[in-house]
Every structure is written in C-alpha cells, then in structure tokens.
Homo-oligomer: A and B are copies of this chain.
Amino acid sequence: MDFETIKPLLREGQKSKIVLLVMDGLGGLPMEEGGKTELETARTPNMDALAAKSILGLHHPLPLGMTPGSGAAHLGLFGYDPIKFEIGRGVLSALGVDFDLQKGDVAARGNFCTVDENSVITDRRAGRIPTEIGERLCNLLMEKVHIPGVQVILQAEKEYRFVLVLRGEGLSGEVSDTDPQMVGKKPYVAQAVAPEAEKTAEFVREFVRQGTEILAHEHPANCFVLRGFAQLPNWPTFNEVWGVNAVAIAQYPMYRGVAKVVGMTVLQAASSMEEEISMLEQNWDKFDFFFVHMKKTDSYGEDGNFDAKVDIIEQVDALVPRILALNPDVLIITGDHSTPAKLRSHSWHPVPVLLYSPDCLPDGITSFGERACAHGSLGSRFEATDLMLYAIAHAQRLDKFGA
C-alpha cells in the first residue's frame, strides 16, 4: 500500500493506543517429525485466551521463501516494504553497536583481515582475532589517523568486525566497497559511484592509505576492508506514515536502531523483559504506539536450544496480562521472522501473528501456534507489510476512502 494513498485518510486527534509486541524469531519447527514447534509446545494460557478474542494468521516478512535479516524483518512489521526500503549495511552495523549515528554521517562495515607481502588478502577475518584485539586496533587507528576536514570514528564489533563512521560536511554514502569478499585479491580502491561522493571517496582512500601503514606490522590483522558505505535514509517517518506518536522499547541495540531509522522515539535499553513491560506502563500516557521487542526467542533459536526458547515464550506469556491491564485498543503479538531451533538460524517460515482489538471479529482460533494461526482469518499468506494498516484500521485511525 502506497503511503500517499493512506495519508489523506489518517484521522487526527485519535487517542487510541496500539501495542506491537515482537518476540524475535518467534516462528519455529518441530525438532522431530510429528512433533510440535516451540510456540506450540509452550504453555501460553494468556495468549491462548487472547487468541479466542483475536484474529490470527501467519505473516510473511518478505516474498514467499525469502529469509529476512533483522532490519528487513522489522521494517516489514513497521509497514515499510523491505525490498523497497533498504537500510545500508554500514548503517545496520552502526545501529548494531548502538552507535549514535547522526544525519549526514557515513557508516561502513569493516573487517580486519590478513594480507601477504603483495597486499593480497589471505584471510578475510584475520584468524577471527579476539574482540579485545579488534578494540585495540580500532583505538590505534582512531589515535593515529588524521584527515583534515573529516572526523574518523571507529567502533569495534565482535572479533574482526568494526564500524567506520565518517562525520563532516557534505558527505555521501555513494562509495564503492574496498572489500572484494574473497581471498586471493587485493582490497579494491574505493570509488565515488555518484558525483556528489567524490569528496567522501577521497576521504576513504586517505583513511585506507594511513590505516594500512599503521597496521602494516600488526599480526595477524595487518589490514582491513570496508563495505556497505551508507547514510541514515531519508524516509517518511513512522509517525508521519501512520499518524501516531511511536516509542520503541527494546533491550538490544539493533532493534532500537531500526526504530530510530524510522524516527520512533527510542527509550534507553531495558535490562530485562519485565523491565520492558514496566517501561511500557510508565510511558503509557506519553505515546500512542508502542513497539516492544523481546530478543531471547531468537537467541535461543540461533543456539538450537528448543527448550530455552519455549521457556522464554512462556515468560512472555506471563507478561501479557500486564499489557492487557493497560487496555490497549490494539495489541499485536508476533515475531519478526522465524528462527527454528532445529535450523539454528533465521528461516523463511511464516510467522504466527495475533491481532487483538475489541472491534475485531474473532475467527474462532483458540490457541496461539503456527498451525492454529494457519487457519485464522488473516490467512497463512499474510504479508507483514499489511499489518500496520490493519492495526490502525482497528484503532479507528482511518477515515473511509471515497464517498
């Protein structure tokens, strides 16, 4: 749905409140043939009772069969088609380390790597150096590199990964990668891929010149490669698109970051799921759209820990009554994508979604699980990007179209 079609329909001055509760990587698979998924296994009396008053379905974060990354999956839930609205790799990396990226900054994802005497890459991850070494190298580069006209900031991620941020006037993200993404090649020379990026490309080449010299005698990480140069996108904000005042509550940087990209107010990091709900309660009067993100379902899915994922789902279920006690006009419970413990990774499987509203027509599904949701009235082919419009419809925030 085109944002421009919706804009004239948004009602002003509505007071209704919407909660979007995301259990990251919620969707799952049975570990054995004939078994149950994590969500089907979990005892979720609160969500099941809510299901009986809700409409359910399975959503697809992306076209059928595509597995989304975290950024793309959340954009879909926020109503931004992830195929059309792409966040640059560098920006995603900066968000992932909680870097306070500003409008105009250019961010890139860096790898410390090993090169031979001919500058040919022999190991793209420098033997997966420990994070402490990555941090030391970042600090070393920050200290020694000096480029007039631009501020150079490095922040270590895990192991060999880091984020490079250039801050200054008139920068552009339209710069090509230096990372050939294979061994046996020399790093590429960064080039402007749009005229307005000439200055930025020259800054990058200068950073590479100085940085390569500084690391020349380090071991095994004696070089680095950069990719995904990008700036914060200039998209319509979530509040503009949906006519709400939105806030994000999350424990982990990436999710606060994606919320920030679409212009939500982002609260400080919570330290537990319980604290997230407390923050929801404390901020209930200040906002009208609440994105609440629970991470650990995904973490345990990635670990292949079926039981721990089940346990987290049960813990979230126990928090649902506190949300309902706030009397939201719409409560959505879903995941951003599936992360079956069986696969130990994100997957393409559709994701259970429950939409509760006093003005929905309950579809007779009385439990919250993948196969129950497949029979719900949202259907088993529900596109994640349709969710927000349906939410604001149920929150009575839309005027009718046409006379």
Contact = CB atoms under 8 A, between A and B. Distances in A.
B398 A65 contact: yes
Given A346-B400, A402-B68, A380 B380 contact: no
Given A29-B361, A379-B380, A381-B381, A69 B402 contact: yes
Interface string A330-364: 00000000001011011111100000001101011
A67 to B, nearest CB: 4
Interface of A: 1, 5, 9, 29-30, 33, 37, 53, 58, 62-73, 82-83, 86-87, 89, 92-93, 340, 342-343, 345-350, 358-359, 361, 363-364, 370-371, 374-375, 377-382, 386, 389-394, 398-403
A92 B403 CA distance: 7
From A5, A374, A378, A391, residue with most partner B Cβ within 10 Å: A374
Nearest to A67: B400
A51 to B, nearest CB: 14
From A82, A89, A400, residue with most partner B Cβ within 10 Å: A400
Contacts of A1: 63, 66
A342 B272 CA distance: 40
A358 to B, nearest CB: 8
Contacts of A87: 402-403
Contact of A72 (B86, B93, B401): B401
Nearest to A342: B359
